Structure 1
Amino acid sequence: MSAESAEAQAYDPEARGLRLVVVLLVLTVISGLIDAVSFLGLERVFTANMTGNVVVLGFAAAGAPGFSVLHTLTSLGAFVVGASAGGRVARRLGAASRRAWVRAALGAEAVLVGAASAVAFAAPGTTGTAYALITLTALAMGLRNATVRKLGVPDLTTTVVTMTLTGLAADSPLGGGTGMRSLRRAAAVVAMLAGALPGAWLVLHHGLGIPLLIAALLATALAVTASGRE
């Protein structure tokens, strides 16, 4: 960074902190953790990936074993409520300071996921706990998705990587493109895997509380360090 750009950043509060590209990649890791918890620990429901949830709802409605219509509908409903709240937060705070808005949304996610972790530790294995975890994490992911959508950073949706993989392949030299943003796209895919793999291991060997706690701590760290610049 040149002396001029460093000086400009010192006078620009929006630029202070982690760049949004880094923030969104870490949020993608969190999504992997969250979906490992929900899919493996809560009867094969997703609370971050709603595309998967719609498919899961079809499986459950058809009577496929191991799926729950009520769990899936709870997740979809809570996600929509969270996304609606995220839209309101974006309209209220986004016009004043992008940095403050992003940090507020991340703080809310940290609180919701932290509450889910506390519930998982306090009352593991109960029906009420399952619904509480689905509701809290889906609310958090809905709020986050509304925020990320408003930010509009290309190729970093944080909860799905289908279009990211499509762009990676279609815009590659093999697809006749230039490979622009290939590193960012590949990093998003790796970030999802980097959350899902340890998340699955923790769920299988240590229960739901620890991966949720890690997700909450990561979200908290982002809430106090995120900037408002890509």
Structure 2
Amino acid sequence: MSDESAGAREMLPAVLMVLTVVSGFLDAVSFLGLGRVFTANMTGNVVVVGFAAAGAPGFSAAASLTSLAGFLTGAVAAGRYAVAMNSRPVHRWFGGALVAEAALTGLAATVAALVPGAAGRFAVIAVLAVAMGIRNASVRRTGVADLTTTVLTTTLTGLAADSPPAGGTGARARRRAGAAAAMAGGAFVGAWCYLHLGVALPLLMSAATVTLVAAGYVARGELIAR
């Protein structure tokens, strides 16, 4: 690995930690504001489909299936993008994926503000899910352990199973605990923003945050490359 790539990869854990906050934020806004549907956590959507199929009130199989379909579409698109960008430095192709996420999240915010009713709601769900599919597939390609940015089950399993009480060394405990705290913190802020600001403005805030993260990461990567 070149010094350029190594330098860019050293920045990834911090970038992914911020994105974990954003995931908690987005899932809070989507679950509370879009009808008990997740746009980042697809495990939750699969479970919700089961709830809805059993007739549990307040859950929409259609909304969760829309999110799942959008997520898979985004992941496929990100996979094709990764193949096309295979020879590029990590900060460029991953930065490009983050720009796409930010643009789609901004589009979702616009739709939420301008399109009322069920049509607007389903459109927002679909667009956000595509954005998060792009994110997840791209994060997976970076290969950074314990920072998927959207799910915590494996991370928490590692935190417990590798801990000193379990006979382990506590490897990466700070990163793993930090990811859990980041997700919870993002969910707290997202819930507060939804309760006080609605759906559109928090989504715009999320888009702005990811844009800043992408710009900072790419700029730092270009500086290292010089």
Q: TM-score, normalised by structure 2?
A: 0.91
Q: Please report the RMSD computed on the Cα atoms of aligned residues, expressed in angstroms.
A: 1.9
CA distance in 1, matches of 2:81, 2:126: 19
Query: Are the aligned partners of 1:34 and 1:212 in contact in 2 as well (CA < 8 Å)?
Result: yes
Query: Are the aligned partners of 1:79 and 1:142 in contact in 2 as well (CA < 8 Å)?
Result: yes
2:160 is the alignment partner of 1:169: yes
Structure 2, unpaired ranges of 5+: none
Determine which of 133, 144, 152 is the counterpart of 2:124.
Answer: 133
Partner residue, 1:183: 174
Partner residue, 2:214: 223
Partner residue, 1:199: 190
Larger mean CA deviation between 93-102 and 104-113 belongs to 93-102
CA distance in 2, matches of 1:135, 1:162: 25
2:120 is the alignment partner of 1:120: no
CA distance in 1, matches of 2:158, 2:192: 30
Identity %: 54
1:16: Cα distance to partner? 5.8
Partner residue, 1:97: 89
2:14 is the alignment partner of 1:26: no
CA distance in 2, matches of 1:66, 1:13: 47
Q: Secondary structure, in 3 states, of the residue corresponding to 2:157?
A: helix
Determine which of 129, 142, 146 is the counterpart of 2:133.
Answer: 142
Q: Which has the higher helix share?
A: 2
Partner residue, 1:5: none
1:91: Cα distance to partner? 1.2
Match of 2:22, as an amino acid? Answer: I
1:66: Cα distance to partner? 0.6
1:18: Cα distance to partner? 7.8
2:204 is the alignment partner of 1:213: yes
CA distance in 2, matches of 1:197, 1:74: 25
Q: Secondary structure, in 3 states, of the residue corresponding to 1:19?
A: helix
Structure 1: which 4+ aligned runs deviate by more than 2 Å? Answer: 12-18
Aligned length: 219
Structure 1, unpaired ranges of 5+: 1-7
1:226: Cα distance to partner? 1.6
1:75: Cα distance to partner? 0.4
Change (3 A) 1:49 1:177: same
Partner residue, 1:153: 144
Match of 2:155, as an amino acid? Answer: T
Cα-to-partner distance string for 1:148-198 (whole Å, 9 max, x where unaligned): 111110000000011111111111101110011001111100110111001
Larger mean CA deviation between 94-103 and 195-204 belongs to 94-103
Change (3 A) 1:84 1:182: same
Q: TM-score, normalised by structure 1?
A: 0.90
Determine which of 61, 69, 82 is the counterpart of 1:77.
Answer: 69
Match of 1:91, as an amino acid? Answer: V
Larger mean CA deviation between 92-101 and 189-198 belongs to 92-101
Match of 2:190, as an amino acid? Answer: G
1:211: Cα distance to partner? 1.7
CA distance in 2, matches of 1:43, 1:80: 20
Partner residue, 2:53: 61
